[in-house]
Amino acid sequence: MGHDKLRKFAENETFRCLLQPSAEQVLSKGYANLTDHPVKGHWIEQMFGGHPGEIVLELGCGKGEYTLELARRNPDKNYIGVDIKGARLWRGAKTATAEGLPNVAFLRTRIEFITAFFGPGEVSEIWLTFSDPQLRASENKRLSSALFLDRYRNFLKPEGIIHLKTDSRFLFEYTRAVACVNGLPILAETTDLYGQGTPHHLPAEVREVQTFYESMFLEMGLPITYMEFRPWKEGPYLNPRDPDDFDSARWRELEGPRRSFGHQ
For 56-81, how does the pLDDT look when each residue is reduced to its tens digit (9 = 90+)? 999 999 999 999 999 999 999 999 99
Tell me the mean pLDDT in the region 90-95. 98
Query: Could you give the count of Cα atoms lying within 13 Å of 57 in the half-sphere of its Cβ?
Result: 26
Measured CA to CA in angstroms, residue 83 lies from 18, 52, 63, 135, 181 at distances of: 11, 24, 9, 20, 29
Q: What is the mean pLDDT of residues 98-108?
A: 98
Q: Choose the weakest-confidence range: 148-152, 173-177, 219-223.
A: 219-223
pLDDT tier for residue 256 given thresholds of 50, 70 and 90: confident
Q: What is residue 259's predicted lDDT score, i.e. its pLDDT? A: 52
Active site members:
132
* Residues β-bridged to residue 57: 80, 126
Give the confidence band of 1 by pLDDT, cuts at 50, 70, 90: low
Phi, psi of 227, deg, nearest 5 = -145, 145
Please state, for a pLDDT cut of 90, what percent of the chain lies above it: 86
95 and 64 Cβ atoms separated by less than 8 Å: yes
Percent of the chain with pLDDT over 70: 96
* Residue-range domain boundaries for the chain: 3-255
Domain 3-255 superfamily per CATH: Vaccinia Virus protein VP39 (3.40.50.150)
Mean pLDDT over 242-263 rounds to 78
- The phi, psi pair for 221, rounded to 5°, reads 80, 20
pLDDT band at 262 (very low <50, low <70, confident <90, very high): very low
Assess whether pLDDT exceeds 60 at residue 94: yes
pLDDT of residue 257: 64
Q: In sequence order, which residues have a C-beta less than 8 Å from that of residue 7 and are 6 or more positions away? A: none
- pLDDT value at residue 252: 93
Q: Are strands 104-108 and 18-19 parallel, antiparallel or unpaired?
A: parallel
Sign of CA dihedral 6, 212, 209, 142: negative
pLDDT of 263: 41
Residue 4: exposed, middle, or buried by beta-carbon count in 10 A (0-12, 13-18, 19+)? exposed
pLDDT digits (tens, 9 = 90+) for 160-207: 999 999 999 999 999 999 999 999 999 999 999 998 777 668 888 999
